[in-house]
Structures are given as structure tokens and as C-alpha cells.
Amino acid sequence: MESIIKKCLPTYDVVQKIGSGVYGSVFLVKDNLKIRAVKIVPISVERSVSNRSKKDLDSKISHDFYAIQEYYHRIKGEYVVEIYDFHLVDKQVSKQEARAYLVILMEYCPHNLLDRVLDNHPVPPEQAMGLMTELANILKNLSDRAEDAFIVKDLKPSNLLINQKNKLVVGDLGGIERISSMSASTSAQFTPNWSAPELITHSASGGITSLVFSYGFVSYFIWSGSLPYEKENFSERLRRIKEKGIVFLRTDIPVKIRSLIRRCLSMKPEDRPGDFNQILESLVAVNPAGGKYFLRRKTDRKPGHADNPSSNRTRSESGRHNSISRAIESDTPSRPKATWSHQPGDTWEEPVIGMKFKWIPAGSFQRGCGNWDGEGKKDEFPLHEVTIEGFWLGIYPVTQDQWKQVMVNSFWQKVRGSNPSWFKMGGNYPVEQVSWNDAREFALKLASINNNRYHFRLPTEAEWEYAARSGGRQEKYPGGKAPEEIAWFSTNSGMTTQPVGTLAPNGLGLYDMSGNVYEWCADYYHEDAYHHYDPGNPVTGKEASRRVIRGGSWCNFPSELRCSYRGSVYQDFKGNFLGIRIVMTPISRKGSDF
């Protein structure tokens, strides 16, 4: 596929594949100035009565190409992903068929609604209402037209993107259909889990009322982070909704919002709101801001920082926010806290034992030893660029108290005791003497005590270095600081571990990224790993005898505390200089356990 992209977009480099679906594959690309997304869609036309000759087939595939462009110009606007250019590539015509690739250059949207909700669950009430309102406005503007009314056939959170302006847009353009041209045959392109019952059980054609039902499912997901009766298949889910109704687990959902979602999810189409104007009227009745979507970013504001973005809100915006809050509080006794729009260094707290995580934003960086370092072993070269998705990383190494809280009553504890550490200091001292296998078991156990609502794992080696270097900056030591400022090592440690977080943090607010204890990474260790890598968050999965460890420890010299320094030990090794730090990723993106 890279060769297809290069043919029509020669100035762009392909970074990685970021998605695929029924209509094609999507790639992240970049040039010297910007980042874009490229969608590649195979298109074909088979020989038929109306397309008998090669000339007919050639003409038909060209006609389809121009029809797609015309279609986009009819739906384009602030509610759909922006497209910059179309290309038809590698057209091949034979007697039986014509084939080509449609290449679409579009804006890059770093998030979708699915990940945004799961990353921040539970979404605060005013923001959940804002998302419902924003989505209803999108669907209203597409469907409420005198001419060329459209609906989104496959409405689900993963098809709703968050662009770089933090706006919700429809990303699945192939799933937008003109209402007047819809037939029962198009219902097959709906995703059953998010679809109205009449589309599944009666093969009915889609329309406004079926879209309203899907909107109800998406709205329920925004509040709950799941579908109703999540563990059931779609047919059993619909049966339970019909027999038992909709159950809301959160107590802070306004009564009128619950009522609206229940109406949208009525089994009979005639019992649902008739269109999105009615839905918006119901939302405005709860939200005195008149349906205006307002998003408050979380910031770490400090006294005297008058330039904080949150301080630049107008009085009218502040008034809207306060009125929304009052309306919600009148219906609910409490409001859970959550971070919505992730900024570098935002904090998330794991709810069971209170482990704190920092948001590490997505980005590309030069991994390895650069000229800013001045040292470097053979395995730290060559310097090469990789791209990292955003993730949550523990602010500190896992402490002995946290280890005991998570591993209590486990088979591991019965065999080895509650604290494996050599330096049994307890409290905020880092846990050590844990193998790679022990570390992985800790991550799985942490997920288990959280009812598997979050996915915890070890960082990849690329993630670890990117985070240590404050988001990929050219730093020899974390934060660009001197070793004695940020690390407990052979010179200042007293030849023992020290409480975590007692020295300076790096540029993202992470402590002890160098010194105190080495930290396990997910990767197997290969000396030549940097010669053979995937540009998208590479993890070395090819088996080897050792695993990567990073960061240096209380007994190491400064050269081993460098951000690019790579250590390795056997997977079952346990040492009093070796601990762990944990990553949290949303369930939807967890992939493998590394």
C-alpha cells in the first residue's frame, strides 16, 4: 500500500497503518510541514449488460471516481472529516473487470469517541451532555435538509472522530447515505451491536428513527462506557432491553437524560423521538445553555500563572458552564471527577489503590543515542524515528505498599510472601526483586481488582524512552537535568533504594525515570533491534534469552542512567536493583499483553 500512496503523494512518508474497515485502510502520513491521514479504497466494476466492453468498464470506473468526489462535496462541512484531495491510482482494465485504488488525503484525527470515553470513564456529566448535544447537532444537520438529506448508516463510537480542534466529526464517509436512495439492501452495512431491532430482525431499510435508536446506544455508551447488557450478543441484548428495560449504573445521570435515552431505545420506531430537532429540544430542557457544547479542559493551574488557557474563558462561557453544572446537580447528588481533554502531564488516578498516572501525549521522536548525549554503546545506534500513541504512565515506580495491596490473597503471595523486596522498607520505597513474569502478573492482577475496566501492562522500550525524555526531547538525562538532581545512584543513594518521588521530576512530571531501580520493559532484548524496527511504537517480540530493562539504579554510574542506555537481564531474574513501572491503556486499544 505504501507504493500506492507514493505514486500520487510522493512528498509524504508513511508512518504507520492506523485503521482498516469495510471500505478500506487508513494510514498516517507526514511531510516536512504537516501530518495527514490517507485512506486507500479498492474499487472495481465487473462486466455486465450495461458494461460489456473494456471501454465501458473504463468509463464506469472513472464515472464512479468522479461520483465519489461529487458526493463528498454534497456532505462536506464542519460535521464530517475534511478531505483535501482525491486520486485514482493503478487503474487496470480487462475484458471481465476494471480495478483501481481510490486514494483520499484527509485530515488526521488523533482520537475517536470510543477511546475518548474509555480513556476518561466516567465522563463528567456536563461533558457527557455536551457530547450528546454535539452528536445530535451533527445528525440534525445531515438529516434535516430540504434536499439531499443524509443519515449515518453505521453510527458507533469508533466511527466518530475527534479532530485536532477537539471537535466531533463523522469519520466513516462511506457510511453516510442519502435517505432517498436507501433500500433494504443497505441494512447489511450496519453494525448489529449498534443498530435498531427492525434493521436486524425485519431487514428494514434505515431511516431517521433507526438512526435515533443508534444515537440512544451511543448516548448510553458515553455515560456508561459500555452498551446495555454488554456481555450479551446483539439479539440477546435487544431481548433483554425489551423485557427488562434500560438499566443505568451511574447515579449522576439527570432524570430527563435517562428518559431521553430510554425513548430513543424504544423497540417500536413510533415510540422514539421523531427526529433530532426533538432530541435537541429535550437536551435544551435539561441544559440551560441552549444546547451549546462547552468543553472545559483540565489544567494544572498554579498560583500566579495568569496565562493558563482556562483563565481566558469569556464571562459568557463561564456562565454557561455554571448553569450547566447547576442543572445537573439538581438531578444528582454527586459528580465524579475525570480528565477529559488530555494535556501533557495531566493526572489520572487508578480508583482502587490510588496509583497515579501521567498522560504521555502522542508524537514522533528520534530514538537512540544522539549528539546531545555524547556517549553511547553499540546497541543504542542507529538513531531512528518512531511514532508513539498517547498513553498513561505511572508517575512513580510501583511501591512496596502498592505491591502488597494488589497481590494480597494471590497465589504469588502465599508462595513468596507479601513483599519480595531485599530492602524491606515498605511505604513509598520501590518494590524490587521481581522478575518480568512477576511484573506481568502484577499488571494482570491490578486489572482484575479493577474489574478489568482498564488494561495495565509494562511499557514498550520505545514508550519508556519517549516518556523518560519528556516526550521525545533531546535529553541525555530525564528533564535535561544533572543526574544528582533527578536520580538516586551510586554517588548519592547510600547504596540502597530511596522513597520514590523525592528528587526532581522530568519535563512530564515523572519521577525516578533514572536511578533508584531499573524498570522492566515489554521487549525482548536484541543488540541490533534498532536496525530492524516498526516505526509505530515498535516492540521487539522476537524471542530472545533476555528482556530489556531501563533507567539505571541506586548502584549504577551516571553513564547507565542515560535515557538511551539499554540494559538487559533474563526474564526470570530477580535483583534488588530491579523494579517496575506500569502503563494504562484503554480496553479498546490494549492489543497484546506484550
What are 292-334's pLDDT values in tens digits? 333 333 333 333 333 333 333 333 333 333 333 333 333 333 3
Per-residue CA distances from 465 to 140, 179, 474, 513, 541 (Å) = 46, 51, 11, 9, 17
Mapped onto helix, strand or coil, the DSSP state of residue 433 is: coil
- The pLDDT value recorded for residue 344 is 83
pLDDT band at 178; cut points 50, 70, 90: low
Give kind and range of the element (H or E) at residue 319.
helix 315-329
Residue 456 sits in the same domain as residue 570: yes
Region at 243 (left for phi over 0; alpha for psi -120 to 50; beta for the rest): alpha
| Bigger pLDDT: 135 vs 18 | 135
- The pLDDT value recorded for residue 342 is 76
- The pLDDT value recorded for residue 73 is 79
- Whether 486 is covered by a domain: the verdict is yes
Residue 393 makes CB contacts below 8 A (sequence gap 6+) with 357, 358, 360, 459, 463, 467, 510, 581, 582, 583, 584
- The pLDDT value recorded for residue 199 is 80
Residue 231 sits in the same domain as residue 211: yes
Residue 154 sits in the same domain as residue 179: yes
- Whether 315 is covered by a domain: the verdict is no
For 71-75, 287-291, 368-372, 520-524, which range has the lowest pLDDT when averaged over its residues?
Answer: 287-291
Last residue in a domain, options 53, 77, 107? 107
Residue 354 sits in the same domain as residue 479: yes
What are 391-434's pLDDT values in tens digits? 999 999 999 999 999 987 655 555 555 899 999 998 999 999 99
- In this predicted structure, the answer to whether residue 506 has a pLDDT above a threshold of 80 is yes
Residue 488 sits in the same domain as residue 351: yes
What are 475-486's pLDDT values in tens digits? 999 999 999 999
For position 226, which CATH number holds? 1.10.510.10
- In this predicted structure, the answer to whether residue 93 has a pLDDT above a threshold of 50 is yes
Residue 28 sits in the same domain as residue 121: no
What are 525-562's pLDDT values in tens digits? 999 999 987 787 778 778 899 999 999 999 999 999 99
Last residue in a domain, options 241, 262, 286? 286
- Please state, for a pLDDT cut of 90, what percent of the chain lies above it: 53
- Please state, for a pLDDT cut of 70, what percent of the chain lies above it: 82
Residue 361 makes CB contacts below 8 A (sequence gap 6+) with 342, 343, 344, 390, 471
What are 263-282's pLDDT values in tens digits? 999 999 999 999 999 999 99
For the chain, report the end-to-end CA distance as a whole number of angstroms: 27
DSSP string, 207-274: -HHHHHHHHHHHHHHHHHSS-TTTTS-HHHHHHHHHHH------S-S-HHHHHHHHHHT-SSGGGS-S
Residue 441 sits in the same domain as residue 585: yes
Residue 267 sits in the same domain as residue 389: no
- The pLDDT value recorded for residue 541 is 73
pTM of the shown model: 0.49
- Whether 159 is covered by a domain: the verdict is yes
- The pLDDT value recorded for residue 459 is 96
Is the Cβ–Cβ distance between 283 and 129 less than 8 Å?
Answer: yes
CA 221 – CA 194 distance, rounded (Å):
10
- The pLDDT value recorded for residue 314 is 32
What's the length of the chain? 594
What are 35-51's pLDDT values in tens digits? 999 999 888 888 888 88
The answer, yes or no, to whether the previous bond of 157 is cis (omega within 30 of 0) is no
- Whether 431 is covered by a domain: the verdict is yes
CA 191 – CA 182 distance, rounded (Å):
16
- Whether 301 is covered by a domain: the verdict is no
- The pLDDT value recorded for residue 431 is 97
pLDDT band at 251; cut points 50, 70, 90: confident
Last residue in a domain, options 241, 268, 286? 286
What are 13-28's pLDDT values in tens digits? 999 998 776 567 899 9
Residue 54 sits in the same domain as residue 102: yes
- The pLDDT value recorded for residue 64 is 81
CA 591 – CA 115 distance, rounded (Å):
13
For position 69, which CATH number holds? 3.30.200.20
What does the mean pLDDT of the chain come to? 83
- State how many domains the chain has: 3
In which domain, by residue range, is 23 found?
A: 2-107
Average pLDDT score over residue span 163-191: 61
- The pLDDT value recorded for residue 186 is 35
What are 333-352's pLDDT values in tens digits? 333 333 345 788 889 999 99
- In this predicted structure, the answer to whether residue 173 has a pLDDT above a threshold of 50 is yes
Residue 98 sits in the same domain as residue 152: no
CA 423 – CA 576 distance, rounded (Å):
7
Residue 184 sits in the same domain as residue 262: yes
For position 475, which CATH number holds? 3.90.1580.10
What are 183-205's pLDDT values in tens digits? 333 333 457 888 888 887 665 56
Residue 399 sits in the same domain as residue 527: yes
DSSP string, 158-216: GGEEE-TTS-EEE--GGGEEEGGG--GGGGGGS-GGGS-HHHHHS-PPP-HHHHHHHHH
